[in-house]
Chain A
Amino acid sequence: MRRLLPVFVCVALLALVCAGGALAGNGGFAPAAPASPNEGGIRSVYWLILGFTGFIFLIVETALVVFVLRFRSRGRSREVEGPQVTGHTNLELAWTAGPVLILAVIAAFVFYKVGGIRNATAVTGGTQTVRIEGHQFYWEFVYPNGAISINTLRVPLQRKIKLDIVSADVAHSWWVPVLGGKLDAIPGQTNRESFRATKLGTFRGQCAEFCGIQHAAMLAYVKVLPPDEYDAWVQRRLQSPSEVGRETFQGVCATCHGLAGQGDIGPPIAQSPLLTDRNAMTLLLRNGRNKMPAVGRTWSDAQLKALLDYLQKRFHAGGGSGG
């Protein structure tokens, strides 16, 4: 039995890890609890597969442990041979056909479910199409009325939201776990999906395709609002460039230059005389320089102006350096 001690230690440690997880609700033993039917579909696929694979896992590991314990040599010499069985056709056919059947069931279930996972079913309240642009290192959202937000997408509860996902530079991946799976933002193509949010709240997501030095900081939030509140917000946003300017600074510039412009991987900008030079700033934002990506390559003039106005006000109003 001493031989088996390490096995038990291993099992105990794993159990401890699992228990730690289980105590905290979901614990990472299933995909995120759904806030949309899309994610609900993914979870049901997961549970079905976990059921089958868990069953096979138990069979294999149990057989392994039982055979190994039961047929251990117990001091018999190497010269003693086991029965010289070279195979058993029917048995081998059975463990070829069995997995085929299981896999067929899983595949059939996936095909049955997949429609509702990639696309939301039509519901009342109409459909909104939002364009999502992946950039190094931020998300930009363009709403049907032309309003813009950075890194936080607002959507109305229960309405069908269509997403047109594009990239302005390298490949990114749009992913908010509670709302469903990933869809990559790849330059040169538009990827489309739709979803329907069924819970109010703010949900976190993160770029899931490695996109460069600040990939880890490329977060995304989806704020699900009551429909009337959303409608009011999206109208208001259209008329408030200062908000766009602030969001652009916090979501685009601050990722590398710090929330107070104090510098991080990018140089400090709070005191930079460049901030007041609109032409130089335009050039810099549109084309990038050295390690700085061309963050503003696709911005409209209005959006650019919103940021420059914000920078001016925040860092250079009255010669002060704070906002």
Chain B
Amino acid sequence: MAARAEPFSPSAVVSRGRVSSWLTTVDHKRIGILYIATSLAFFAAGGILALLMRAQLATPNEHFIRRDSYDELFTIHGTTMVFLVVVPILAGFGNYLVPLMIGARDVAFPRLNALSYWLFLLGGIILYSSWFAAGGAAKTGWTIYAPLNEAAYSPGHGVDLLILSLHVLTLASLFGAINFLVTIHRMRTAGMTWMRMPLFVWAIETYSVLLVAALPALSGGLTLLLLDRQAGTHFFIPDKGGSALLWQHVFWFFGHPEVYIMVLPAMGMISEILPVFSRKPIFGYKAVALSTIGIAFISMLVWAHHMFAVGLPGYLQGFFMITSMAVAVPTGVKIFNWLATTWRGNIHFDTPMLFALGFIAIFTIGGLSGVAVAAYPFDWQVTDTYYIVAHLHYVLFGGSIFGVFAGLYYWWPKMFGRMLDERLGKVNFWLMFVGMNLTFFPMHMLGLLGMPRRIYTYSQGGLWEWYNLVSTIGSVVMALGIAVFFVNVVKTARSGQRVGNDPWVADTLEWYTTSPPPPHNFDRVPYVSSPRPLRDLRRRLAESRA
């Protein structure tokens, strides 16, 4: 117990320096902020790649980007957004919030936690250094399908560096996940039973279980691919007895749980934010918590719905259609419970709430188009088209990223003691909301019109051109919104309004301590007797005054 409560402390000299204290920190809050800041930097980078692609596709027969450069763009954009933005930024929030929410002093293994972060940064640097490798960055798409990923079809070191980067990143995520699991299982404060745990902690628990279950498949697959490319094996080379399809199974066995890894913690944030700004408890706490586990469980059984066009036997396609549709049930439970949470509330439209409501509005579209593509005959028509690009961005941008922005605006005052500017926040939200829909909604139509993914140009005018142009304009609007966020950060750092412990009058323990919290988090933690310990405390205070 004592060892766990005392984080490793480097020599006093190092820990006092302004830069060196961040480089050597093992404080979960600082590591969380490092995660978030680094992910935001990669978010900007990945966003610029996306803007370049949209510029190339704005009109037919563009020559803005050379075609193999375009292939690098979508490969690195996808890999960045999945592995360097959404997963790590959620890890950052988990790092910052989980110990505070469960009333702990730090995570279970603070040094392992620091290792996770530095591995993540290293993985990101490796990925971006691959632009300078012989043959340039990988040009295979983030799914790295076999046998295009083999040395014969992808010479140079782009794919090798992508493999190395993903290996390092999976280790980072795996260490982080184990850390979260042990922390949540062992370090909850007195009285915090499983059914009194904040829903965000439930989400991080589930996120971690999924990471532990799914990441080894990716690591294994990447190792086989590396052997194919460098040691002359032929796991994925059909000419020599390997199987190209094996890669797809391995990749999606990881890849589909990964989708929920990216969405569940964002849903957890929404479940924290909606009640606070509706001034009500979450509607159906147990159902929301259990639906998280339900989604995670089913998500392990749906991977081949990414492979409906590969020629699987009919009964397998039927099985994967049913499991994929089943995910919609617990997801629907969440959405209906969220709606019921706002019912008869006292709704305050602060920026975190706007993003949370935006999440519901947009994620619903992504969820419903998910039901459509689960029906495999329809999927035969739209898989690998822009319809899928639209669907996945409605889920991952409208879902995960909107959740993340809700979280940034909500917990910023806790992290830095200053409120992000509300006026800029609202401009930020509306630009992102409008831009997001303008960018991604027309992509549904493009897919139905027959536009495949991952093409660097097209020759059709008419509707193809019109929808593509609208989409490009939308991407600029969205980029402006995100730029406003960065302006807001700078403005807030200079002149943001200072706040006390609990500016939102919230429910969970992180608001009990100061903003920002001291290194040891709490001087003492109140006994937890419900999922809303702070509200309990406020009521007891009010009663004792009366």
Contact = CB atoms under 8 A, between A and B. Distances in A.
Contact of A182 (B383, B433, B445): B383
A27 interface: yes
Interface string B112-152: 00000000000000000000000000011100011110000
Given A28-B448, A181-B381, A186-B310, A63 B339 contact: yes
Given A60-B339, A216-B458, A96 B281 contact: no
Interface stretch (B100-108, B208-216, B330-338): B330-338
B280 A82 contact: yes
Contact of B322 (A107, A113, A187): A107
Contact of A60 (B360, B375, B441, B450): B360
B343 A67 contact: yes
B484 to A, nearest CB: 14
Interface in B251-290: 278-287
Contacts of A183: 309, 311, 380
24 contacts: A6-B430, A6-B434, A13-B438, A17-B470, A28-B444, A42-B377, A52-B371, A53-B369, A60-B364, A61-B364, A63-B339, A78-B346, A85-B280, A99-B332, A103-B326, A110-B377, A114-B314, A170-B148, A181-B381, A184-B311, A186-B245, A210-B454, A212-B139, A265-B67
A189 interface: yes
Contacts, number: 297
Given A17-B467, A20-B466, A61-B364, A180 B380 contact: yes
A4 B526 CA distance: 41
A64 interface: yes
Nearest to B322: A107
A292 interface: no
A92 B324 CA distance: 21
Interface in A174-226: 175, 177, 180-184, 186-189, 191-192, 204-216
Given A24-B462, A183-B380, A99 B328 contact: yes
Contacts of A283: none
Interface in B425-450: 430, 433-434, 437-438, 441-442, 444-450
A189 B449 CA distance: 29
Contact of B384 (A30, A208, A293): A208
A158 to B, nearest CB: 22
B448 A208 contact: no
A206 B450 contact: yes
A117 B285 CA distance: 43
Interface stretch (A69-77, A236-244, A267-275): A69-77
Given A28-B445, A181-B309, A6 B433 contact: yes
Question: Chain B interface: which size bin?
Answer: 35 or more
Given A96-B329, A103-B326, A171-B148, A213 B67 contact: yes
A186 B244 contact: yes
Interface magnitude class on chain A? 35 or more
A292 B509 CA distance: 62
A154 to B, nearest CB: 21
Interface string A41-85: 110011001101100110011011001100111001011111111
Given A61-B361, A106-B371, 9 more contacts: A17-B442, A60-B364, A64-B339, A64-B360, A67-B342, A71-B342, A103-B326, A103-B329, A210-B141
A159 to B, nearest CB: 22
A118 B376 CA distance: 11
A182 B311 CA distance: 10
B487 to A, nearest CB: 19
A216 B457 CA distance: 7
A86 B238 contact: no
A187 to B, nearest CB: 4
Interface of A: 3, 6, 9-10, 13-14, 17, 20-21, 24, 26-32, 39, 41-42, 45-46, 49-50, 52-53, 56-57, 60-61, 63-64, 67-68, 71-73, 76, 78-88, 91-92, 95-96, 99-100, 103, 106-107, 110-111, 113-114, 117-118, 136, 165, 169-171, 173, 175, 177, 180-184, 186-189, 191-192, 204-216, 265, 293
B470 A84 contact: no
A92 B287 contact: yes
B411 to A, nearest CB: 17
Nearest to B70: A216
B227 interface: no
B243 interface: yes
Give the top 7 A-B pairs by smallest Cβ distance, nearest first.
Answer: A181-B380, A188-B238, A28-B445, A216-B455, A191-B311, A87-B284, A53-B368
Contacts of B422: none
A92 B238 contact: no
A63 B337 CA distance: 12
Contacts of A216: 67, 455-458
Contacts of A67: 339, 342-343, 345, 347
